A and B are shown apart, each in its own frame.
Chain A
Amino acid sequence: MNRFAWPLVAVCVLLAFLALGLRHGDPRALPSPFIGKPAPQFELPTLKNPEVNIGSKTLAGDYALVNVWATWCVMCRAEHPFLLELAANKAIPIYGINWRDSRREAIRWLDDLGDPYLASAYDEDGRVGIDWGVYGAPETFLVDPEGTVIYKHLGPLDPTIWQREFVPRMTGGGQ
């Protein structure tokens, strides 16, 4: 091949790669490094009852959702009705991590809108959020009975995502 054709070859490769890149999806979405790994250990006072603690031990034994939320988070409010629905149907135990919020505001929010959580941990300074690699609310983690993180969803939860991403990962237990 004539050596002047090399630039053409190189460019075609680059263009093909860029075309694939376009299909690749949101460049800002960060996959969780905990997928397939044990959920980060934590223990925090609950939101409503500061004397009682919940933590990693609480999650063990069954599939569970860990939902990171806050009152200042607009999208958390959007997903809230669906979480209530899941809780009402007893589809899965839901635990909350109330992230960087005001305890008083958070309790009032749950009182006003309903409380889908078996309990919410109160992460006042955000350290547990960091331990879970949280970078935006809402985030929802799916944890299996052994305490392994199976999936993480960034953004509000809705029926479509629930059916498509969460339900298949729960059946066929212990993936």
Chain B
Amino acid sequence: MLPEIGQFSLILALSLAICQAVIPLVGAHRGNAAMMGVARTAATGQFLFVAVAFGCLTYAFLSDDFSVLYVANHSQLALPTLYKVSAVWGAHEGSLLLWIFLLAAWTLAVATFSSGLPVAFSARVIGVLGLLSIGFLLFAILTSNPFDRLVPAAVDGGDLNPLLQDPGLAIHPPLLYIGYVGFSVAFAFAIAAMISGDLDRTWAKWTRPWTTAAWLFLTLGIALGSWWAYYELGWGGWWFWDAVENASFMPWLIGTALIHSLAVTEKRGLFKSWTLLLAITAFSLSLLGTFLVRSGIIVSVHAFATDPTRGSFILSFLAIVVIGALVLYAWRAPSLDSEAGFGLLSRETFLLLNNVLLVVATALVLIGTLSPLVIEMATGGKISIGPPWFNVAFLVPTIPLVILLGMGMHTAWRTQKADTWWRLLRIPAIVALVLGVLIPLFVYGRVSILLVVGCAAAAWIVISSLIQPLRSLWREKGAAGITRSALGMCVAHFGMGLFVLGVTVVSAFGVESDRALQPGDSIEVAGYEFHMIGLENVQGPNFNAIEAEIEIREGEKFIATIRPQKRQYMVQKSPMTEAGIRAGLDKDLFVSLGDQLGNNTWSVRVQYKPLIRLIWLGAIFMALGGLIAISDRRYRSGKKVRETAPDTASDAAEATA
């Protein structure tokens, strides 16, 4: 009964989405307040019905309802409860429902927090979001219904893919999707502005917090995915440039460019059409990502096992959305740009550099992901483009970017006097350069050009991001403090610095070693001794495992005991590796079991990963910075940005934001 209610709820949600899309958009066109008022009500209604559907699916999992095909395929009686819940979004149909749910949630949030927006504008935004909801709901109802029945019902299910039976699955997709879907808000803001023809600094001010919010969730989602792959897949890598990873990374890169471009548009009313284009592109890349992952067009460990028919639907939807947006863009953009100028050394120039380099990076990721397909279709020959190409290609725009990052933060809008600028930055620059040599040389024992560049860049960004916050701490009483917007920027950039340091050090100084071990044997890696004490059988709720007890010592000192496992899940029968990790901010010691080589002998892979946690810690700081920026007072005041004179002291302080 409940699955049918769920299905019916989806259909009701669809009809509400149609109301939500059509009525407010027509109403905004005609200036009809009643029609525009429908937006909020319809959005609330759609959210409620989608929530009901989502609830029904979740309940089906929790109550082991194997008469629902989706549940029968992805759950099992013995599956722990946490995974029964996260299995809801563990495969195509359910994750699509999650997408729809989050889109409805974002829409409701916009409807709730849009009191400061003009009615016509918010009606258009919610209308556009409604159009997007229609597309996804149709996709679900017509091709990917999670509520299809299995008759006769299965006695027990096919179990969730063991790789997904991990707390990481509980959080990674939701976080990621909140970000992915969140870019639809910036997209809707862009479309609404293009429809009405009004795009000014106020528009940028409204769009910024929504975009930053989506961006910070996407940051967390990607970081979590990387961390999860690291400890779950057992080979110690944290990024493989796999097509699905790239599909989430491209919107992030453009989203970052968008945040920075919005800053210029809000501050100076410049780059309006460029900002619009970025907003359209960010969400289009989200949709493209969905297409790549669910169409069967590329090969990936992460790809959902779906098919070209669904792929056609998504592609058509993508085509309608993007072409529609770009037609609007071609129509409206020519009339948009202002005639304000700026000097060579100015914040505007640096932000422009930021955008150019980020767009180049995105283009490279796209090229690397799609080229094998292009080449195959053009010549019939298949090639692979993997980390060896991506790692090199990606560094080309990124190295300049990180160096410029530290400079741009301290450059004034319009024009910056070179001598004051240099006076501020020269000592940090020198210190960074020195640290760039010292860190690899004295902490890890080796230098190279790339190492120095990486460590110096990281130090440079870290020091540079600390300047403003520290100054604000030590300011005189009564002087303006740092705004949250500026503080958020510093925290986020600080996180970037940590990230760069982590990547540089672990790539250069990480060590790994494979050895066949028996109880009593040891292996030495990077000055640590890994001693296998014993092997034993353990039983989990739905798996059997061999667990190795491994003691880590540094000389005489005992460090830790870790227990890597090799699991065999009872239903799906695929073997799984659970790594044993001794984690720390300064390094990870990582052990995973390979294959059984004999009665009591296993091949063991041991890895030493210095500073690897900084990669994810850096991402957390980036997200935190975004959060701080959103909480800035000017977004909560609800006042419109004055178009002419600066209104308060906070505006003057914002000269540095």
A interface residues (Cβ-Cβ under 8 A, vs B)? 2, 4-5, 7-8, 11-12, 15, 17-24, 27-28, 30-31
Contact assessment for B291 and A18 in the assembled complex, using a CB-CB cutoff below 8 Å: yes
Q: Which among A17, A20, A22, A23 has the greatest number of chain B C-beta atoms within 10 A?
A: A22
Q: Say yes or no: is B14 at the interface (Cβ < 8 Å to chain A).
A: no
Note all chain B residues with C-beta closer than 8 A to A31: 380, 382
Q: Which among A2, A8, A18 has the greatest number of chain B C-beta atoms within 10 A?
A: A18
Contact assessment for B327 and A8 in the assembled complex, using a CB-CB cutoff below 8 Å: yes
A-B pairs with CB below 8 Å: how many?
A: 60
Select from chain B the residue with minimum beta-carbon distance to A30: B382
Q: How far is the CB of B22 from chain A (nearest CB, A)?
A: 25
Q: How far is the CB of A93 from chain B (nearest CB, A)?
A: 30
Note all chain B residues with C-beta closer than 8 A to A30: 382
How many residues of B sit at the interface, in one of the four size bands? 20 to 34
Contact assessment for B315 and A15 in the assembled complex, using a CB-CB cutoff below 8 Å: yes
Contact assessment for B329 and A8 in the assembled complex, using a CB-CB cutoff below 8 Å: yes
Given the interface pairs A17-B374, A21-B377, A22-B315, the reply to whether A2 lies near B297 with Cβ below 8 Å is: no
**CA distance in complex: A12, B319 (Å):** 8
Given the interface pairs A22-B315, A23-B308, A27-B297, the reply to whether A7 lies near B329 with Cβ below 8 Å is: yes
Q: How far is the CB of B426 from chain A (nearest CB, A)?
A: 41
Note all chain A residues with C-beta closer than 8 A to B382: 30-31
Q: How far is the CB of A105 from chain B (nearest CB, A)?
A: 20
Q: Say yes or no: is B571 at the interface (Cβ < 8 Å to chain A).
A: no
The answer, among A4, A18, A20, for a CB contact under 8 Å with B333, is A4
Note all chain B residues with C-beta closer than 8 A to A11: 284, 322-323, 326
The answer, among A12, A15, A20, A28, for a CB contact under 8 Å with B377, is A20
The answer, among A8, A17, A20, A21, for a CB contact under 8 Å with B326, is A8
Contact assessment for B330 and A8 in the assembled complex, using a CB-CB cutoff below 8 Å: yes
Q: Which among B295, B326, B376 has the greatest number of chain A C-beta atoms within 10 A?
A: B326
Q: Say yes or no: is B311 at the interface (Cβ < 8 Å to chain A).
A: yes
Select from chain B the residue with minimum beta-carbon distance to A27: B299
**CA distance in complex: A81, B248 (Å):** 47
Q: Say yes or no: is B119 at the interface (Cβ < 8 Å to chain A).
A: no
Q: Say yes or no: is B277 at the interface (Cβ < 8 Å to chain A).
A: yes
Note all chain B residues with C-beta closer than 8 A to A12: 323
**CA distance in complex: A23, B315 (Å):** 12
**CA distance in complex: A11, B298 (Å):** 19
The answer, among B280, B327, B329, B377, for a CB contact under 8 Å with A17, is B377
B interface residues (Cβ-Cβ under 8 A, vs A)? 273, 277, 280, 284, 291, 295-299, 308, 311-312, 315, 318-319, 322-323, 326-327, 329-330, 333-334, 370, 373-374, 376-377, 380, 382
Select from chain B the residue with minimum beta-carbon distance to A17: B374
Q: How far is the CB of B436 from chain A (nearest CB, A)?
A: 39
Note all chain B residues with C-beta closer than 8 A to A15: 315, 318-319, 322-323
**CA distance in complex: A33, B277 (Å):** 44
Note all chain A residues with C-beta closer than 8 A to B311: 22
Note all chain B residues with C-beta closer than 8 A to A23: 308
Q: List 23 A-B contacts (CB under 8 A).
A: A2-B330, A2-B334, A4-B273, A4-B329, A4-B330, A4-B334, A7-B280, A7-B330, A8-B327, A11-B323, A15-B318, A17-B370, A17-B377, A18-B315, A19-B312, A20-B377, A21-B297, A22-B308, A24-B377, A27-B296, A27-B297, A27-B298, A30-B382
Select from chain B the residue with minimum beta-carbon distance to A9: B326
Note all chain A residues with C-beta closer than 8 A to B318: 15
Contact assessment for A8 and B323 in the assembled complex, using a CB-CB cutoff below 8 Å: yes
**CA distance in complex: A27, B296 (Å):** 8
Note all chain B residues with C-beta closer than 8 A to A27: 296-299, 373
Q: How far is the CB of A151 from chain B (nearest CB, A)?
A: 15
**CA distance in complex: A23, B308 (Å):** 8
Q: How far is the CB of B599 from chain A (nearest CB, A)?
A: 19
Given the interface pairs A21-B377, A27-B299, the reply to whether A5 lies near B323 with Cβ below 8 Å is: no
**CA distance in complex: A28, B296 (Å):** 10
**CA distance in complex: A21, B277 (Å):** 26
Q: How far is the CB of A138 from chain B (nearest CB, A)?
A: 21
Given the interface pairs A4-B273, A28-B299, the reply to whether A19 lies near B315 with Cβ below 8 Å is: yes
**CA distance in complex: A103, B298 (Å):** 38
Known: A11-B322, A21-B297; 10 extra A-B contacts, CB below 8 A, are: A2-B334, A7-B277, A8-B329, A15-B323, A19-B312, A22-B308, A22-B315, A23-B308, A27-B299, A30-B382
**CA distance in complex: A22, B309 (Å):** 9
**CA distance in complex: A28, B382 (Å):** 10
**CA distance in complex: A27, B292 (Å):** 12
**CA distance in complex: A96, B291 (Å):** 41
Select from chain B the residue with minimum beta-carbon distance to A29: B382
Note all chain A residues with C-beta closer than 8 A to B319: 15
**CA distance in complex: A3, B329 (Å):** 11
Note all chain A residues with C-beta closer than 8 A to B295: 22
Contact assessment for B329 and A21 in the assembled complex, using a CB-CB cutoff below 8 Å: no
Select from chain A the residue with minimum beta-carbon distance to B381: A31
**CA distance in complex: A15, B315 (Å):** 8
Select from chain B the residue with minimum beta-carbon distance to A18: B315
List of 5 A-B pairs having minimum Cβ-Cβ separation, nearest first: A8-B326, A4-B333, A5-B330, A4-B330, A22-B308
Select from chain B the residue with minimum beta-carbon distance to A10: B326
**CA distance in complex: A4, B298 (Å):** 31
